[in-house]
């Protein structure tokens, strides 16, 4: 069985262990989407992970989902990220930027315009705005000729990410955001080449990945997916066939990895592992569920064929998570009220494990 603390080759990187820090929104950027010194400290504290994947970073202004999230669509934002990547690398780490276009999961209060999506169908629930939670608005359906522009936005942001010192990027194709919306059978009601059949619904994801690979190279590009996931009200028909086709179409690109969430049955995930010829990152717990990923979950998925395992909420209060997992030390709990509140409390205030003589 593959051990959690053995090295793994990922593109041009050698990861010292198979622990991945999963992307998690923390809403600590400036109003202009700049990374801050506190963000540099936060990620550097967690640099013992085999790989860090950042919070979602908007590739364009219209792609921003929540207030307080960072961007990679102008030179000032690029410059602000260099303090983060420098700090992680100085601590011996490796870091990918997750590129997240929110699509319909946004609000005019946040982006100053009507959000866009595959179709004029609102997300289910309330979205975060500067005035608090508000009902998700009906997005403007993208015209056919606009869709490739939004696919290319990931590639343009990836170039900026590399300029900012990131080791690579992860396309956020999960959890009801724009790529996921195109995969969906209820958020995507299009009748053109981007909607309807599985081949058409996977087209946007493949175009975004292809453009990003052409921009920065396959070894620097991963994608995160949530097969059968229902966040923000998305629904998908024919999940095994849809994602089997998507992986078949992505495979020739030679991506660094596919990152799957446990949002469907193990048997479906096993079939996707078998279908994907490259590195598979597995996130063993549903992001909407109450349970964190634990060491036993990681070992189970490594035994099932995953190459790497991502840990999300466990990383919030445990910057030294790798060492705690290695030694079987107890994990600290995070204060849920500080997840998105801004400031350093609940962000930089969690210490490493204190050994008592």
Span 111-164, pLDDT tens digits: 999 999 999 999 999 999 999 999 999 999 999 999 999 999 999 999 999 999
Non-local CB neighbours of 335 within 8 Å, separated by 6+ positions: 317, 346
User: Is residue 201 exposed (0-12), middle (13-18) or buried (19+ Cβ within 10 Å)?
Assistant: buried
Residue 42: both structure tokens together: 């936060």
Work out whether strand 8-10 and strand 13-15 pair parallel, antiparallel, or are unpaired: antiparallel
Q: Write out pLDDT tens, residues 247-302.
A: 999 999 999 999 999 999 999 999 999 999 999 999 998 777 778 889 999 999 99
Q: What angle do CA 171, 316, 110 make, to 5 degrees?
A: 55
User: Which are the catalytic amino acids?
Assistant: 177
The domains of the chain, with CATH numbers, are: 8-338 (3.20.20.70)
Q: How far apart are CA 133 and CA 318, in angstroms?
A: 29
pTM, two decimal places: 0.97
């Amino acid at each position: 069985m593959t051990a959690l603390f053995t090295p793994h080759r990922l593109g041009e990187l050698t990861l010292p262990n198979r622990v991945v820090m999963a992307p998690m929104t923390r809403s600590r950027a400036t109003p202009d989407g700049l990374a801050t010194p506190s963000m540099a400290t936060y990620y550097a504290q967690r640099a013992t992970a085999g790989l860090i994947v950042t919070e979602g970073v908007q590739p364009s202004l219209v792609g921003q989902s929540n207030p307080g999230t960072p961007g990679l669509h102008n030179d000032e934002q690029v410059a602000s990220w260099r303090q983060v990547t420098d700090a992680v690398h100085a601590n011996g780490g490796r870091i990918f930027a997750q590129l997240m276009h929110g699509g319909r999961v946004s609000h005019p209060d946040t982006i100053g315009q009507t959000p866009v999506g595959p179709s004029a169908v609102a997300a289910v629930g309330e979205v975060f705005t500067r005035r608090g939670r508000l009902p998700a608005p009906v997005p403007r359906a993208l015209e056919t000729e606009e869709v490739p522009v939004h696919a290319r936005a990931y590639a343009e942001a990836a170039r900026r990410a590399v300029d900012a010192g990131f080791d690579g990027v992860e396309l956020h194709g999960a959890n009801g955001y724009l790529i996921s919306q195109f995969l969906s059978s209820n958020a995507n009601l299009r009748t053109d080449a981007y909607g309807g059949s599985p081949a058409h619904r996977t087209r946007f994801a493949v175009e975004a990945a292809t453009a990003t690979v052409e921009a920065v190279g396959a070894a620097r590009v991963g994608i995160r997916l949530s097969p059968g996931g229902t966040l923000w009200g998305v629904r998908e028909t024919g999940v095994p066939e849809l994602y089997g086709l998507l992986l078949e179409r992505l495979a020739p690109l030679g991506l660094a990895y596919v990152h799957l969430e446990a949002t469907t049955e193990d048997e479906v995930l096993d079939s996707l592992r078998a279908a994907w010829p490259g590195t598979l990152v597995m996130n063993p717990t549903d992001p909407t569920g109450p349970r964190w990923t634990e060491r036993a979950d990681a070992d189970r998925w490594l035994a099932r064929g995953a190459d790497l395992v991502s840990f999300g909420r466990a990383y919030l209060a445990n910057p030294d998570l790798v060492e705690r997992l290695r030694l079987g030390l107890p994990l600290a709990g995070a204060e849920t009220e500080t997840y998105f509140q801004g400031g350093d409390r609940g962000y930089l205030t969690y210490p490493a494990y204190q050994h008592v003589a």
